[in-house]
Structure 1
């Protein structure tokens, strides 16, 4: 009897061990992701603040703001993607027991962030205005958007530096300070936009341009706050923050390589979404304002899975650095499950409240009438869009850098862009046609990326 009980006891012990590991990884995911989600929501709250203040000041100025932000967002998110290597390499170093070398990752990342962001600022300022004037927009829309874009471009450098600093802290599993700094920057932004947009205390009303100047001030504050925090960390010297590292070309190349895949993915995905602003512009000025409401709310929702993606990347990266295939698979599966639960809950919450949410952005009845049904329809892509970003980060953390890029190329460039034009313009579905294209593209991307992670989980590291 005892001999027969031994396998059962062993099976029970293994099941208990697996259950314990799942609970530990789930707790770690939530611990890592919670502050990151707060930080990412802080990013979008800044955009939401701008959209609400500008939209309630003028629907026309909201259109300028949305179109000026569209090319800026492409450059900004490409820069963020290029810096992803900081987060992944920091987590890997921790997993491999090389904590003292993480300062070298930060120093390389800050230099890289400065030059990449500065180049992006120059490129956007030179190429952005001509682009807005040759894509078929009404001249007034193009002129108003150009003025906002030029100010937006000035904040790219400080934002790139802040991203490098926050990614390093997240890789160290210390995302809290970045979250607090982001929300402090929101307070700065709110004060500035209330001052500049409507023209307070005798200042001229600046509309969309005033919101862009508020963003510049807030991002400068954010970069300085994060750098000051890192410099004052008690363990900064032990981590190598103040020690000039020996030149390691292999580590530099790997850090950039990880970022190349994420940077190109971000560029493709955000370019595709920015092109939706252009298609909305072809429909008309009110359509641009309505799409801005849909996109802004969707982007706020997206910040939660983006935070979960960071937690997933850190957990998968640590397991990958420790050469633990079971840990890699477990971290991915837990991350996907939590993301799916969030996607379902937020979809069910937004759908019945679409009209109220739209009315919160603007008083213009015509804009609300366009935005509300499109916002309700957008609930169909919240779940697949959330899953695809978490799956993409999990794949990059386990060394599969380029497949997510190819997937985003196929889904958002090859599928979403032409489908959105066809549904919105020839088929005359308007903003709803754009939303249907996003739904289809998100489903395609989600299926491909989850399938890839499942296939790789069947292989040894």
Structure 2
């Protein structure tokens, strides 16, 4: 391996670290804006209607799976644009964006229809037909839970097309190294979302409080504005709608195939995590709330990792476009190392400030069915400090693999880890062993640990142990 002065490995060159930070920091803040919407929604509900948090959390099962599918399929826009940027031909990238834009429109319409019309049947099946006989069935009418969740889901589905279009715009701008612009637009959306939340959930400015439904309308409305602003930025500042040379053979197929594997992984990860909300609701509404708030903080931490993962993916894709195997290996290793450092830092914050974070999420006296929410959340955040490290590793390693067009192996690891390991572990520890929200988080740790270790080992084997072989 090439080394520097003082014996440092080649992949920790100051220039490479600076490049990773220059990309990852704004991307992390951009991605965090998406999670901040969910967190602010949860905080406002925690202050004004804590009992309705399970309705929002469970509504993200069909929404999360759909969005994860779309985010994956559309990822090819970012990867192929990064490759062109890496060889100095970014002015030809308009055809890639336009292909992704049309895909986003049709995909958004299709997914909106599926989510809207299936919501009632899906949640009736989950909370009425197959729900095990637990505390929640006694304390609240399962039909009420099912219909409340379905109503929130239908409102959220209206924003599906906008979410898909804004995703393509964001991917394209980031690949052209304009992440700060995307960050600015997204945080304006977060600000707008908070204002609408206060009006429709908190009852500010004379509005009638709507609880979880108000949160759904806030998310849908703010997403529409984000979409318009990002689309205007793409039109004015990029070659998106300028004439491009004819695409090389199989470019369209490559654009779809790179994202298809990611889509499958997203469905596994997002679907798996959102199904854990259903399992937590089967235990009790209190368990769902405690576990759900802890997962919201875990999701906020994941945005830091996602910034590192996306930046690593861009750097690996640029090296892949140049067919420089050494740079590909170094970029992947630097991403993994940065993830570990970030994991330690975030873990310390969660352990030291667990009580303060819990108090921020819900009122100190918030109680559901005799369960004190703040103390339960604080206890889970200590465990989240360990879980989140492996969540970051699985993201960074899988992104680095897909940037080299290694698609299916990471997807299979995600499917196995989240569906075959995490969900059964959550059910067993949370319900069968009666460990409640604590058992749910322990089950998540088992699944995420499996994914993180396997993805990292696969990255090292593919890109470091076979340096003379082109990644396939």
User: Contact 2:302–2:388 at 8 Å: present in 1 too?
Assistant: yes
What is aligned with 1:255? 255
**Cα distance change of structure 1 residues 245 and 158 upon mapping to structure 2, 3 Å threshold:** farther
SS at match of 2:231: helix
The ranges of structure 1 where at least 4 consecutive aligned residues each deviate by more than 3 angstroms after the TM superposition are: 11-21, 244-249
What is aligned with 1:385? 391
SS at match of 2:13: helix
SS at match of 2:275: helix
Q: Which runs of 5+ in 2 are unaligned?
A: 129-141
What is aligned with 1:427? 433
User: Contact 2:77–2:168 at 8 Å: present in 1 too?
Assistant: yes
**Cα distance change of structure 1 residues 335 and 20 upon mapping to structure 2, 3 Å threshold:** closer
Q: Report the TM-score when normalising by structure 2.
A: 0.91
**Cα distance change of structure 1 residues 12 and 265 upon mapping to structure 2, 3 Å threshold:** closer
> Following TM superposition, by how much is the alpha carbon of 1:190 offset from its aligned partner in structure 2, in angstroms?
1.3
User: Contact 1:22–1:330 at 8 Å: present in 2 too?
Assistant: no
For residues 389 and 209 of structure 1, the distance between their equivalents in structure 2, rounded to whole angstroms, comes to 32
SS at match of 1:134: helix
> Following TM superposition, by how much is the alpha carbon of 1:142 offset from its aligned partner in structure 2, in angstroms?
1.6
SS at match of 2:204: coil
For residues 356 and 374 of structure 2, the distance between their equivalents in structure 1, rounded to whole angstroms, comes to 9
User: Contact 1:22–1:334 at 8 Å: present in 2 too?
Assistant: no
For residues 10 and 415 of structure 2, the distance between their equivalents in structure 1, rounded to whole angstroms, comes to 38
For residues 244 and 324 of structure 1, the distance between their equivalents in structure 2, rounded to whole angstroms, comes to 26
User: Contact 2:127–2:145 at 8 Å: present in 1 too?
Assistant: no
What is aligned with 1:351? 351
Q: Say which of 386, 399, 408 aligns to 1:402.
A: 408
**Cα distance change of structure 1 residues 15 and 109 upon mapping to structure 2, 3 Å threshold:** farther
User: Contact 2:354–2:382 at 8 Å: present in 1 too?
Assistant: yes
For residues 373 and 12 of structure 1, the distance between their equivalents in structure 2, rounded to whole angstroms, comes to 44
Deviation digits for residues 39-83 of structure 1 (CA, Å, limit 9, x no counterpart): 011111111111111121111122212222333122112211111
Q: Say which of 138, 163, 167 aligns to 1:163.
A: 167
What is aligned with 2:297? 297
What is aligned with 1:214? 218
**RMSD (Å) for aligned C-alpha atoms:** 1.9
SS at match of 1:64: helix
What is aligned with 1:3? none
The 5 A counterparts of 1:249-398 are: 250-363=250-363, 364-365=366-367, 366-398=372-404
**Cα distance change of structure 1 residues 217 and 323 upon mapping to structure 2, 3 Å threshold:** same
For residues 36 and 12 of structure 1, the distance between their equivalents in structure 2, rounded to whole angstroms, comes to 29
**Cα distance change of structure 1 residues 291 and 178 upon mapping to structure 2, 3 Å threshold:** same
**Cα distance change of structure 1 residues 13 and 126 upon mapping to structure 2, 3 Å threshold:** closer
> Following TM superposition, by how much is the alpha carbon of 1:219 offset from its aligned partner in structure 2, in angstroms?
0.6
For residues 425 and 8 of structure 2, the distance between their equivalents in structure 1, rounded to whole angstroms, comes to 48
For residues 335 and 4 of structure 2, the distance between their equivalents in structure 1, rounded to whole angstroms, comes to 25
Report the number of matched residues: 447
> Following TM superposition, by how much is the alpha carbon of 1:243 offset from its aligned partner in structure 2, in angstroms?
2.3
Deviates more, 1:410-419 or 1:73-82: 73-82
Q: Report the TM-score when normalising by structure 1.
A: 0.93
Q: Say which of 70, 93, 96 aligns to 1:102.
A: 93
The 5 A counterparts of 1:71-86 are: 71-86=62-77
Q: Say which of 428, 442, 445 aligns to 2:448.
A: 442
Q: Say which of 39, 63, 67 aligns to 2:58.
A: 67
Deviation digits for residues 241-290 of structure 1 (CA, Å, limit 9, x no counterpart): 33266466611111010111001100011111011101111111111111
For residues 132 and 249 of structure 1, the distance between their equivalents in structure 2, rounded to whole angstroms, comes to 44
What is aligned with 1:55? 46
Deviation digits for residues 273-315 of structure 1 (CA, Å, limit 9, x no counterpart): 0111011111111111112201110100000111111100010
For residues 186 and 77 of structure 2, the distance between their equivalents in structure 1, rounded to whole angstroms, comes to 19
User: Contact 2:11–2:334 at 8 Å: present in 1 too?
Assistant: no
> Following TM superposition, by how much is the alpha carbon of 1:96 offset from its aligned partner in structure 2, in angstroms?
3.0
> Following TM superposition, by how much is the alpha carbon of 1:139 offset from its aligned partner in structure 2, in angstroms?
2.1
What is aligned with 1:184? 188
Deviates more, 1:386-395 or 1:442-451: 442-451
User: Contact 1:69–1:148 at 8 Å: present in 2 too?
Assistant: no
> Following TM superposition, by how much is the alpha carbon of 1:23 offset from its aligned partner in structure 2, in angstroms?
1.9
The 5 A counterparts of 1:13-92 are: 22-92=13-83
What is aligned with 1:8? none
Deviation digits for residues 204-227 of structure 1 (CA, Å, limit 9, x no counterpart): 211111111111111111111011
